Amino acid sequence: MADERRVALVTGGPGGLGRAMIGKLVERGTRVAIADVRGPAAEAFADEIRRARNDADVLPLTLDVGDLAACGEAVERVRGHWGALNILINNAGRGMEMIRRDYHVTAIDSGAELTPEMLLGFYRVNALGPFALMRAALPGMRAAGWGRIINVTTSLDTMLRPGYVAYGSTKAALESTSAILAKELAGTGITVNVVVPGGPTNTGFVPMDAGYDRAAMLQPDVMQGPIDWLVTRAADHVTGMRFIGHFWDRSLPPEEAARRAGDPIGWPDAGRKGVWPTKP
């Protein structure tokens, strides 16, 4: 199968990062399911793509990633529509504004303001839903002997930032899941990688009143370089890596850009390893 005619499912599709990644996939001819909890927004974005490119093949889906059963149903709908699902990009996420809109002004006191129920909501969208989607997509990818899973997590400093228990810990969970699955799937033809912008990005995740110069922020198109390369056969050997879009130099050959912008998922050299007993 030619690279450009593969089938992708992208969650959080109409948003800033999703919009940029889908634009690049459509540009190369990939058939894309645009999934979002805001069904009308997914429909509108699909219509916008069709008007811009009459050869585009897109499918808008209403999907709440926090509904774990719906995740499996979405994968089946994509397979039923196109007969395959080759690329899964877990981009949808729940951000800090879901706790308090002014979190960027006054840091959230997690012990006082964050309830277990609220935290569970973050885990469902940021960690459990992506796992449900991966689990549903894997049988078809295994049967085809080829697949791409790309997860959008966050920077390490964000995972460790005071007040960010809800967002940081759930993205750390997805980071760990990505590292583990990459190892478990080695040799199957299915790769698992992480792509992040590399800092505050000009999307709806950052409130307009956060005080940043929006033009000076990272822009969503920093995601396009890594995505455009990772979905090709040229990246068949690349798994277990995280790529920072900000450091991806599109003037370089993709392999060199990847070398400069990539590191292993999960920062495996960040601390001392555990001591495991020898098995008898």
> Which residues are part of the catalytic machinery?
167
**CA distances from residue 34 to 124, 205, 222, 271 in whole angstroms, order as listed:** 20, 19, 19, 39
Please name the helix (run of DSSP H) or strand (run of DSSP E) that holds residue 8, with its range, or none.
strand 7-11
d(CA 108, CA 106): 6
Q: Return the HEC string of 110-145.
A: HHHHCCHHHHHHHHHHHHHHHHHHHHHHHHHHHHHC
For β-strands 262-264 and 241-244, DSSP reports them as: antiparallel
